């Protein structure tokens, strides 16, 4: 399936954004599934096929044919009477890779269709109104799943959320590039969840741990108990799930060390989502040396008076603030345990930490407005305050 021409054509994109299932194949626009009434008053689903008039640069020209084709039985009105007045012939031919059975002809009074949006919505109204009247749960605009072509998108299906919100040009600022997520435990797994919903070219995930029962309680989704019994490696567990949405989630079943640190030199951005100081020193030093921007996340939580309190920290390091960032990343001392290491019921804080990190990454990319240019922030749980620890 191809969405390229649809994305380039406001009139076709509007059809998709309103919930019609649209696709372009073989020079034809295919709209399906469309509910219609059969002669026995049952409801079936068919497809409308419209020949497109396109230029060599894959842009639509003006409508040059008011006819359309239908795949299915001849639709009926609410009284089960076939719409013979709509069809001009009933020969089966193949268009756009599907068999069509009827050619429809519907002129507008005194003028041509101004565009394909008007043509399609006119025919959809004629075909589907009776079915929607007989069964109010039936909708022509049903927002069906729209698959994407691997050559055109990193997604398995179209990002209609950006399209409907008319922010596709802004979303493209996140496209391309290679992102690494070091550690897909609590916070790192939520970072993956958020980044997988963006059009980055590749997402590399690094972790050498097994996906265990405690991970299920501080990561996105709801694993099946059989998943836990199988004890998969974290990176393979998450790759399998997010590959259903993003084509290029690449697992690395290892912790970062001297042996594989060089792989990060090919990245455009890195999320550092693990705690041990020794490998973190290595990562920070090398990313600074290679001029690669990164975000380090972390929490410090403790039980006080039978309640959890603490701070959720997000630190951004770019060429503009390396020294400031280093001062806010824990790179000295022992890895002292706190409640974060054992308390598994904190998925909300993991998600918050990840959200703050991904929001900052999107600010750096120009997706979100950024007037403060903060490079380190801290959310204090007890006071519900987010503090800027530095600024440019």
Asked whether residue 88 is domain-assigned, the answer is: yes
Report the alpha-carbon distance of residue 276 to residue 361 in Å, rounded. Answer: 23
More confident residue, 4 or 50: 50
Last residue of a domain, one of 83, 116, 134: 134
Contact 275, 331 (CB under 8 A): no
Pair 192, 89 in one domain: no
Which of 134, 151, 177 lies at the terminal end of a domain, its last residue?
134
Q: Model confidence over 210-229: pLDDT tens digits?
A: 999 988 998 999 999 998 99
Asked whether residue 76 falls in the same domain as residue 183, the answer is no
The reported pLDDT for the residue numbered 330 is 87
| Bridging pattern class, strands 294-304 and 98-100 | unpaired
Q: Distances from the Cα of 266 to the Cαs of 31, 174, 202, 287, 339, in angstroms?
A: 42, 17, 11, 11, 35
- Specify the pLDDT at position 160: 66
19-64 per-position pLDDT tens digit = 999 988 878 899 999 999 999 999 999 999 999 988 765 678 889 8
How far apart, in whole angstroms, are the C-alpha atoms of residue 284 and residue 281? 5
198, 307: one domain? yes
Domain that holds residue 85: 4-134
Q: What proportion of the chain, given as a percentage, has pLDDT over 70?
A: 91
Say whether both 367 and 242 belong to one domain.
yes
CB neighbour list of residue 76: distance below 8 Å, 6 or more residues apart:
36, 37, 38, 39, 41, 82, 83, 130
* Close Cβ partners of 53 (under 8 Å, ≥ 6 residues apart): 60, 61, 62, 63, 64, 65
325-336 pLDDT, tens digit each: 999 998 876 555
Task: Report residue 322's pLDDT band, with 50, 70 and 90 as the boundaries.
Answer: very high
**What distance lies between CA 356 and its chain's CA centroid?**
18
Residue 211 belongs to some domain of the structure: yes
CATH number at residue 366: 3.40.50.720
Same domain, 173 and 84: no
Residue 8 resides in a domain: yes
Same domain, 291 and 367: yes
**Does one domain contain both 294 and 175?**
yes
Which residues share a beta bridge with 21? Answer: none
pLDDT in tens, 234-283: 999 999 999 999 999 999 999 999 999 999 999 999 999 998 888 999 99
- For residue 147, being part of any structural domain is answered with no
Domain-located, residue 143: no
| Average pLDDT, integer, range 178-186 | 95
- What are phi and psi for residue 258, nearest 5 degrees? -60, -30
Q: Tell me the mean pLDDT in the region 8-20.
A: 90
Distance of CA 372 to the CA centre of its chain: 28
> 45 with 189, same domain?
no
Q: Is residue 206 part of a domain?
A: yes
381 and 299 in a common domain: yes
- Predicted confidence at residue 343, as pLDDT, reads 52
SS3 347: helix
Task: Look at residue 87 in the predicted model and tell me its pLDDT.
Answer: 94
Model confidence at 156, pLDDT cuts 50, 70, 90, reads confident
pLDDT > 70? residue 166: no
Is it the case that residue 164 has pLDDT exceeding 70? no
Residue given tokens 């800027």 in the structure block: 388
Q: What is the mean pLDDT of the chain?
A: 89
Instruction: Quote the CA–CA distance of 113 and 366 in Å, as a whole number.
Output: 40
Q: What is the pLDDT of residue 1?
A: 44
The answer to whether residues 183 and 326 belong to one domain is yes
Q: What is the mean pLDDT of residues 303-309?
A: 88
- Is there a single domain that holds both residue 128 and residue 241? no
- Pick the more confident residue, 162 or 103: 103
Would the pLDDT of 159 be above 80? no
pLDDT given for residue 304 in this prediction: 86
Contact present, 361 and 269 (Cβ < 8 Å): yes
* pLDDT of the residue at 338: 47
Shared domain for 247 and 371, answered yes or no, is yes
User: In the chain, pLDDT over 90 holds for what percent of residues?
Assistant: 67
Total domains present in the chain: 2
């Amino acid at each position: 399936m191809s969405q390229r021409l649809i994305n380039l054509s406001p009139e076709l994109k509007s059809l998709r954004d309103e919930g019609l299932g649209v696709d372009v194949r073989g020079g034809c626009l295919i709209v399906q599934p469309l509910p219609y009434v059969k002669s026995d008053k049952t409801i079936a689903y068919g497809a409308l096929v419209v020949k497109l008039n396109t230029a060599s640069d894959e842009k639509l020209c003006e409508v040059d044919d008011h006819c359309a084709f239908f795949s299915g039985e001849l639709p009926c009105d609410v009284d089960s009477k076939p719409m013979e007045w709509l069809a001009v012939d009933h020969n089966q031919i193949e268009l756009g890779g599907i068999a069509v059975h009827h050619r429809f002809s519907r002129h507008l009074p005194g003028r041509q269709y101004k565009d394909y949006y008007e043509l399609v919505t006119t025919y959809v109204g004629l075909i589907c109104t009776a079915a929607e009247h007989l069964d109010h749960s039936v909708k022509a605009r049903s927002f069906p799943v729209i698959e994407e072509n691997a050559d055109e998108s990193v997604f398995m299906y179209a990002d209609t959320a950006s399209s409907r919100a008319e922010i596709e040009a802004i979303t493209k600022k996140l496209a391309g590039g290679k992102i690494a997520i070091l550690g897909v435990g609590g916070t790192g797994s939520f970072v993956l969840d958020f980044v997988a919903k963006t059009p980055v070219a590749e997402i590399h995930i690094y972790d050498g741990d097994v996906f265990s029962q405690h991970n299920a309680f501080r990561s996105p989704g709801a694993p099946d108990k059989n998943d836990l019994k199988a004890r998969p490696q974290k990176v393979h567990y998450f790759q399998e799930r997010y590959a259903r949405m993003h084509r290029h989630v690449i697992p690395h079943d290892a912790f970062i060390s001297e042996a594989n640190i060089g792989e990060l030199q090919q990245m455009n951005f890195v999320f550092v989502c693990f705690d041990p100081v020794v490998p973190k020193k290595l990562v920070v030093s090398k990313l600074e040396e290679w001029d690669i921007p990164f975000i380090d996340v972390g929490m410090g939580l403790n039980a006080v008076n039978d309640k959890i309190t603490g701070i959720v920290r997000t630190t951004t390091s770019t060429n503009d603030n390396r020294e400031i960032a280093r001062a806010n990343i824990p790179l000295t001392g022992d890895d002292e345990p706190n409640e974060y290491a054992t308390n598994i019921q904190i998925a909300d804080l993991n998600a918050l930490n990840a959200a703050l990190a991904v929001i900052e990454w999107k600010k750096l990319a120009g997706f979100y407005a950024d007037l403060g240019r903060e490079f380190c922030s801290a959310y204090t749980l007890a006071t519900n305050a987010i503090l800027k620890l530095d600024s440019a």
